[in-house]
Amino acid sequence: MTLDELKDQIKTIQLQFETETSAEGLRTKYLGKKGLFNLLAKSIGKVDLDSRVKAGQQLNFLKAYLNNKITQKERQVQANLPWLDFTLPGLKPKVGHVHPISQAMAEITGIFERIGFTRVRYPEVDWDWYVFESLNMPPNHPARDEWETFFVDTPVDQKKGKLVLTTHTSNGQVREMERLGSQPPIRMINIARCYRRQQDATHTQMFHQFEGLVVDKGINIQHLKGTLDYFAQEFYGPGTKSRIRPFHFQFTEPSFEVDFSCHICGGTGQVDGNKCKFCKSGWHEVGGAGMVHPNVLKAGGIDPEVYTGFAFGWGVERTYTLKEGLNIDDIRLLYSGDLRFLEQF
Ligand code: DAH
């Protein structure tokens, strides 16, 4: 017998198998001692000597083919589901991933750790003293109105006042000074949840801020500006610039609002001769900053005659959603738990 003749016979057996409608008896019929396969296999002795290896391979393929197909049919019978195709790839279990805001926090932490900051976290339910009073906002100071505060209905502490849900991460400033025994240098990055009575497309009642604090001898505005430029380039990409504008906060003097240049129009405010739709002005405001007020250093037991510092505080969501290509126009989506949205990040 020639190799081609053997191949023809193999084809015939396969075709015959394809027309089988019942699963029963197939194993004996095809693979049993006196089955069709063995019958054919015997004829290998008749194949020309130099084609015998190839003939052996062909027979092995046939055996594997029959075995697979028969097993499949038997399983279908067992499961009583004749339509079930066990050769189909399975459904992969869903694998979760880190929430986009947690990703952003990890990235922000990494950027500041590379220049010597230490990531800390302080209570999200904290005393009025840390949230307001130690930050140069005595009780009844009108500046407190800026923060739409949730108060906790618990007894008032004689020294530290009421408990509040932290309205900003600035509560970490005096806490960090205390943690270090009022001994600079301080290079803190505090990232935590904050809470305010607000809710719309750009505000959620719970959000995150990250707060930087640097205190040492001889710290000045240039250190602040250098840090802002460094962050802008690392987080938004090369070429991004930072800008500071005079503002007012009780806990810094002087105080600034911080802007980053828009990546869509490169800070020009114009796209093809039209106003840039993303920023409208070439810049995006992200948050506040300034030189730490002497009263804040004093509240943390640090002598403002010897040490100076800078601080900044921005929303994580706001800072993150300005990233190139994100295009999130309603930050409430981030906390909707909607996997169709979250899976994209
Ligand atoms: N805590 C301010 C806020 O939530 C932001 C801020 C402004 C933080 C200036 C600072 C700062 O550290 O120096 O609006």
pLDDT at 82: 62
Ligand 1 atom having least distance to the Cα of 256: 9
Structure tokens at 289: 């900053």
**Residue nearest atom 7 in ligand 1 by C-alpha distance:** 288
* DSSP for 145-209, written as a single string: GGS-PPEEEEEEETTTEEEEE-SSTTHHHHHHHHHTTT-S-EEEEEEEEEE-S--BTTB-SEEEE
Give the Å distance between the CA of 297 and the centre of ligand 1.
15
Question: 138 preceded by cis ω (within 30°)?
Answer: no
pTM given for the model? 0.74
pLDDT at 266: 86
- Do 236 and 323 meet the contact criterion of CB atoms below 8 Å apart? yes
As a whole number of Å, the end-to-end CA separation of the chain is 63
Tell me which of 124, 134, 249 to substitute to probe ligand 1's pocket, judged by most ligand atoms within 8 Å of the beta carbon.
249
pLDDT at 83: 72
**Residue nearest atom 13 in ligand 1 by C-alpha distance:** 289
Give kind and range of the element (H or E) at residue 106: helix 100-113
Matching CATH number, 100-342, of 3.30.930.10, 3.50.50.60, 3.40.50.1970, 3.40.50.10490: 3.30.930.10
Instruction: Count other Cβ atoms within 10 Å, centred on residue 89.
Output: 5
Ligand 1 atom having least distance to the Cα of 211: 12
Q: Quick check: 196 pLDDT over 90? A: yes
pLDDT at 45: 87
Q: How far apart are CA 14 and CA 175, in angstroms?
A: 79
**Residue nearest atom 8 in ligand 1 by C-alpha distance:** 313
> For the chain, what is the mean pLDDT?
93
Domain ranges across the chain:
3-80, 100-342
The model's pLDDT over 20-74, given as tens digits with 9 standing for 90+, comes to 888 788 999 999 999 999 999 998 888 888 899 999 999 999 999 999 999 988 8
- Do 260 and 246 meet the contact criterion of CB atoms below 8 Å apart? no
